[in-house]
């Protein structure tokens, strides 16, 4: 694996502009991504189940499927951790021109086909930010309301969300949460988006509409302005004009932002660096593993804290 890292560094440092260089870099990136998978697969085959990942496949899955699928699932997990830790060694910011953002194309291994894609979970707004550590954040409740309005979800549901997460028992206007909502609120953070359904008032259609803009992370994670969609950014920062957004996005397209100060200056609007960032700690990997008769969809969520090797904190395997 060590031989791969100088190549990653070379690929990332090769930041010359121009379509030709970009195309070459993208081809080289795709080849590297496959090479990293094969390296991960070699390790998975050699050890069968890698110790840190052992036991993560559910019992049901274990009963139904083959050793080859196990090996590929482990390889996919190792692949994503390898790519993300390589990225941390070579850059302090995260953007869509990096190696991790390149899809693993369908690759034939072990008699099956594996494909994968890593996405940045901080390209969306973390709903738990409405009350980090149980304390209501007025600024983030406002952001949630802007997003809810954009998605056609009633703004009062953002208040309900904040009351359901914050650890006090009263609403913003001082009324009893239990009286206003007809039940005592759980006062705990969400674990998944589907948890919104347990709060009352939210529907599956609301979740569907919100899912392009929001996610649920275990800890406070700010919106990465290098990976967030133009639509989300314009929604949560409504004070910038169309021309200001056009400029900021053109600047981002030419070179990702190295700081929130750079982003603020390109936008011409002061942006609080408490709510936005240029790097990310939370990523998701979606992988599909196919054999002749079976197909599995794997979802892994990784946390990558500064100076610490990335770890998996959520995983699921389903027959697709
Ligand atoms: Ca990076
Ligand atoms: Ca509460």
pLDDT of residue 274 exceeding 90, the answer is no
> 33 C-alpha vs ligand 2 centroid, how far in Å?
45
The CATH number given to whatever domain includes residue 135 is: 1.10.40.60
> 46 C-alpha vs ligand 1 centroid, how far in Å?
29
Give me the chain's average pLDDT, please.
85
> 165 C-alpha vs ligand 2 centroid, how far in Å?
6
What is the domain extent for residue 273?
222-280
Residue 295 and residue 264 in one domain: no
Residue 196 lies in a domain: yes
Closest CA to 113 of 153, 72, 64: 72
308-313 mean pLDDT? 93
Residue 32 lies in a domain: yes
Ligand (nearest to CA of 164): 2
Of the ranges 112-116, 152-156, 273-277, the best mean pLDDT one: 152-156
Whole-number percent of the chain with pLDDT over 90: 62
Query: Tokens 């005592």 correspond to what residue?
Result: 184
Phi, psi for residue 274 in degrees, rounded to 5: -75, -30
CB atoms < 10 A from the CB of 192, how many?
11
pLDDT tier at 74 (50, 70, 90 boundaries)? confident
pLDDT of residue 308 exceeding 80, the answer is yes
Ligand (nearest to CA of 178): 2
Residue 310 lies in a domain: no
Residue 163 and residue 261 in one domain: no
| Number of domains comprising the chain | 3
Nearest-5° Cα angle at 304, 298 to 309: 100
Query: Tokens 């072990």 correspond to what residue?
Result: 110
What separation in angstroms does the CA of 209 have from each of 147, 150, 215?
A: 10, 9, 12
Residue 51 and residue 106 in one domain: yes
Residue 159 and residue 236 in one domain: no
pLDDT of residue 280 exceeding 70, the answer is yes
């Amino acid at each position: 694996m060590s031989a791969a890292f100088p190549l990653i560094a070379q690929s990332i440092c090769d930041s010359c502009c121009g379509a030709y260089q970009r195309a070459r870099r993208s081809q080289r990136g795709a080849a590297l991504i496959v090479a990293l998978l094969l390296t991960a697969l070699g390790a998975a085959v050699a050890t069968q189940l890698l110790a840190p990942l052992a036991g993560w496949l559910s019992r049901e899955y274990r009963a139904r499927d083959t050793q080859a699928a196990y090996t590929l699932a482990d390889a996919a997990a190792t692949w994503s951790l390898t790519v993300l830790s390589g990225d941390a060694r070579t850059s302090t910011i995260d953007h869509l021109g990096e190696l991790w953002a390149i899809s693993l194309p369908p690759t034939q291994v072990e008699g099956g086909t594996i494909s994968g894609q890593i996405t940045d979970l901080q390209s969306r707004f973390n709903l738990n930010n409405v009350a980090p550590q149980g304390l209501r954040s007025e600024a983030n409740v406002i952001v949630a309301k802007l997003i809810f309005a954009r998605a056609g979800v009633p703004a009062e549901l953002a208040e309900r969300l904040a009351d359901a997460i914050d650890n006090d028992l009263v609403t913003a206007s001082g009324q009893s949460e239990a009286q206003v909502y007809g039940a005592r609120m759980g006062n705990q953070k969400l674990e998944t988006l589907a948890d919104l359904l347990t709060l009352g008032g939210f529907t599956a259609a609301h979740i569907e509409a919100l899912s392009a803009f929001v996610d649920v992370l275990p800890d406070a994670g700010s919106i990465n302005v290098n990976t967030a969609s133009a639509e989300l950014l314009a929604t949560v920062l409504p004070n910038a004009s169309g021309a200001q957004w056009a400029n900021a996005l053109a600047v981002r397209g030419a070179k990702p932002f190295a700081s929130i100060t750079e982003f603020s200056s390109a936008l011409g609007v002061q942006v609080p660096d408490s709510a936005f960032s240029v790097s990310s700690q939370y990523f998701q990997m979606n992988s599909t593993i196919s054999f002749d008769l079976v197909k599995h969809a794997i979802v892994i969520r990784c946390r990558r804290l500064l100076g610490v090797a990335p770890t998996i904190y959520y995983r699921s395997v389903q027959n697709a």
